[in-house]
Amino acid sequence: MAKSALRAKARKFRQDGLGVKTIAAKLHVSSSTVSLWCRDIILTPEQIVELERRSHDPYYGRRLSYVKKQQKERAEKTQHLLKKGIKEVGHLTTKELFYAGVSLYWAEGFKKDNQVGFSNSDDAMIKFFIRWLGNCCGIQKDSLKLRLGINEQYRNEVKDIESYWSEILSIPLSQFQKPFFQKVRWRKIYDHPEEYHGVLRIRVSKSTDLLRKMHCWIEK
C-alpha cells in the first residue's frame, strides 16, 4: 500500500479514537511514524477517557492474546510440575504415612483437649487426616463426630454445606453435631462464594489414650 494511503488510513483511525500503538499494529508501521502523521489531530475528551480505560484493560487488543498465552503456559507448567511432584513422592509407606499424619496433627490438631480432634477447611487435608486415622491408628469413620464451623451469613446454607462434606467424606449426616456460627460478618466479597464450605471440626470418640500417645509421638 502506498505511503499516502497508509497515512490517510492512520489519520482516519486516529480521528475515530484509536491509540497510536493500535494503529501502528494495524498498518504494520512504527509508532513514531503514526505519531508524526497524526500529531495535529485533537481527540475529544470522550476519546481520551476511552484510551485511558484501554491502557489499563489487560484484555484489550493484543494484550488479550498475550494474557491467554501466558495462562496456557502457566497451566501446562502447573500440570507438568504436578505430575513430576506425584512421581517424586511416589506411594507412601505406612511408616511415612504415620510420620506425615503426626506432623499434620502437630500443626493443626487439638492438643489442649481430652479427645483427639482436628479442624480444617481444605477437603484434601481432611481426607488425609481421616485416612491417617484409619490406616495408622485403627480409627474407623463411625467413631468420628463432625461439627461445621460457618460464618453467620451462611446460616441458611448449613444443610447444603453439611451434605457436601458428608458426600465427599462418605460419612452420614447423623454423625454431624450442631454447627457453630461465627458472629462476625465479612465485609470482603469473595469471587466464588459458592465454593465456601466453612471449617470442619473432627473429634474422635473415646480417644483420650490416643491423644496421650499423640503427645508422645509429637515429643519424639
The full set of domain ranges for the chain reads: 3-56, 94-219
DSSP line for the chain: --HHHHHHHHHHHHHTT--HHHHHHHHT--HHHHHHHTTTPPPPHHHHHHHHHHHT-TTSTHHHHHHHHHHHHHHHHHHHHHHHHHHHH-SPPHHHHHHHHHHHHHHHB--SSSS-EEEES-HHHHHHHHHHHHHHH---GGGEEEEEEEEGGGGGGHHHHHHHHHHHHT--GGGB---EEE-PPP-SPPS-GGG---EEEEEETT-HHHHHHHHHHHH-
Confidence band, pLDDT 50/70/90 cuts, at residue 147: very high
Return the pLDDT at 188: 62
Residue 135: CB atoms within 10 A of its CB come to 14
CATH number of 94-219: 3.30.1330
- List, in sequence order, every residue forming a beta bridge with 146; answer none if it has no partner: 176, 202
- Average pLDDT score over residue span 31-35: 89
The structure's pTM equals: 0.63
Return the pLDDT at 63: 64
Q: Is pLDDT at 186 greater than 80 in this prediction?
A: no
More confident call, 81 vs 121: 121
- The position carrying cell 481527540 is 43
Lowest mean pLDDT segment, chosen from 95-99, 121-125, 183-187: 183-187
Return the pLDDT at 92: 80
**Average pLDDT of every residue of the chain:** 86
Confidence band, pLDDT 50/70/90 cuts, at residue 165: very high
- Average pLDDT score over residue span 182-208: 81
Q: Is pLDDT at 62 greater than 70 in this prediction?
A: no
Q: Is pLDDT at 85 greater than 80 in this prediction?
A: no
